[in-house]
Amino acid sequence: MTSQPRRPQTVKVRDVARAAGVAVGTVSRVLNDRPTVTRELRERVERAMADLGYEVDVTAQSMRAGRSRLVACAIRDFDIPRFALFIKEAEAVLREAGYTLLLASTTNRPEVEISLLRAFRRRRVDGVMMTLSDEAHRDVRQALAEAPMPVLLIDRDSIEALDRVTADHRLGARLATSHLLGLGHRRIAMLVGDIKAFPSRSRLEGFREAYSAAGITPDSRLLRHNVLSSEDAYRATASLMNLADPPTALFVAAMDMLGGCLRALRTMSIDVGDGISVVAGSDSDLAELHTPPITAIEWDLAAMGRHAATMLLERMRGDEIERGRGLTVPTELIIRGSSRSLAR
């Protein structure tokens, strides 16, 4: 007998089998709802399990089965309020299907993404949903290609071999920009995140499309990218408004950056609506209840979460599906008082 890691005595299939007077295999079949068990034995086993307070060890099940019933979700940073909606819905769908959600944040760094992928495979995680900081990153792409489990990308779209769930950020940005151009604005500043990755890149494309559709060329000095925190947004806004020729409209395209922008405008005593028009890249209580209320792009993050979980479940079931399905959730523009026509 080798050593016993000290641990409270637990009831095992063996014990249940003995108590019910059956073989361990029978207990296992009862546990897994196999049809080939007579009602009488099933009942005896179930009674024994209840009497002894038996509980399966998922670890042991996972080991033999080679799957863990774990799904990992790794996103840039989960203190983005609206993102929580995505996770919440995804978790609900996964739990319903018997899976448990593992959560980790990548802090938007490729090396963390790679090391998380490794950690996930060590845990024999059955599926992964994640964002990427840089879709073109060599090592990340390699790690994704080598991942033994299905991976679904959240709001990233350039890797065709993988399933993707995205919002139509290009459309949203085009709508927002066209709206401002239609109001007479010509100097529109844009605050976006990392344009190496999908959402910001798409937003920039939408922005440029709207400009070309209007036959105008945007002033590239009014573009601020790598705006990833509220502080970044604050600084970017301040520097834009300090230009000799400041913008007449601000398109705060990155998610959840509106606060930093408004804080800067307030510090500089610039009135939203009068002094400058503002459009937010995502809706929020703040956008809705601000004075004046802020025009914003909106989409259904809860639906994204549900779709992501559902698609991943299908993939994990090994259904015969084409490689790399993309699903896009539409965006729309909610026009409010913060975007006004340019009085000349």
The residues binding DNA (CB under 7 A) are 1-5, 7, 10, 12-14, 21-29, 31-32, 35-38, 40-41, 55-57, 60-61, 63-66
- Residue 79 binds which of a copy of itself, DNA, none (CB < 5-8 A, kind-dependent): a copy of itself
Q: What is the DSSP letter of 272?
A: B
Does residue 292 have a cis peptide bond before it, meaning omega lies within 30 degrees of 0? yes
- Nearer CB in complex with a copy of itself: 181/297: 297
Shortest distance (Å) from residue 281 CB to a copy of itself: 14
146: CB partners within 8 A, 6+ apart: none
- Residue 31 binds which of a copy of itself, DNA, none (CB < 5-8 A, kind-dependent): DNA
Chain residues in the site for a copy of itself (CB under 8 A)? 5, 7-8, 55-60, 62-66, 68, 77-81, 83-85, 87-88, 91-92, 95, 100-105, 118-119, 121-124, 148, 230, 258-259, 262-263, 266, 284-286, 288-291
- Nearer CB in complex with DNA: 65/243: 65
- Nearer CB in complex with DNA: 215/318: 318
- Contacts for 123-126: CB closer than 8 Å, 24+ residues apart: 123/68, 123/70, 123/72, 124/62, 124/66, 124/67, 124/68, 124/70, 125/68, 125/70, 125/71, 125/72, 125/149, 126/67, 126/68, 126/69, 126/70, 126/71, 126/99, 126/316
Shortest distance (Å) from residue 182 CB to a copy of itself: 27
- Nearer CB in complex with a copy of itself: 62/310: 62
- Nearest residue to 243 via CA among 303, 185, 187, 168: 187
- Residue 266 binds which of a copy of itself, DNA, none (CB < 5-8 A, kind-dependent): a copy of itself
Shortest distance (Å) from residue 25 CB to DNA: 2
- Residue 276 binds which of a copy of itself, DNA, none (CB < 5-8 A, kind-dependent): none
- Nearer CB in complex with a copy of itself: 34/123: 123
Q: Residue 287, by phi and psi: left (phi above 0), alpha (psi -120 to 50) or beta?
A: alpha
105: CB partners within 8 A, 6+ apart: 74, 75, 76, 77, 78
Axis-axis angle for helices 198-213, 169-182 (nearest 10): 40
With contact defined as beta carbons under 8 Å apart, do 132 and 153 qualify?
A: yes
- Nearer CB in complex with DNA: 61/105: 61
The DSSP line for 39-62 is HHHHHHHHHHHHHHT----HHHHH
Shortest distance (Å) from residue 90 CB to a copy of itself: 10
- Residue 13 binds which of a copy of itself, DNA, none (CB < 5-8 A, kind-dependent): DNA
The DSSP line for 179-207 is HHHHTT---EEEE-S-TTSHHHHHHHHHH
CA-CA distance, 149 to 130, in Å (whole number)? 13
Other C-beta atoms closer than 10 Å to the C-beta of 222 total 19
- Residue 32 binds which of a copy of itself, DNA, none (CB < 5-8 A, kind-dependent): DNA
- Residue 23 binds which of DNA, a copy of itself, none (CB < 5-8 A, kind-dependent): DNA
- Nearer CB in complex with DNA: 67/186: 67
- Nearer CB in complex with a copy of itself: 100/341: 100
Shortest distance (Å) from residue 311 CB to a copy of itself: 20
Q: Which two tokens stand for residue 332?
A: 């729309």
Shortest distance (Å) from residue 212 CB to a copy of itself: 34
- Residue 95 binds which of a copy of itself, DNA, none (CB < 5-8 A, kind-dependent): a copy of itself
269: CB partners within 8 A, 6+ apart: none
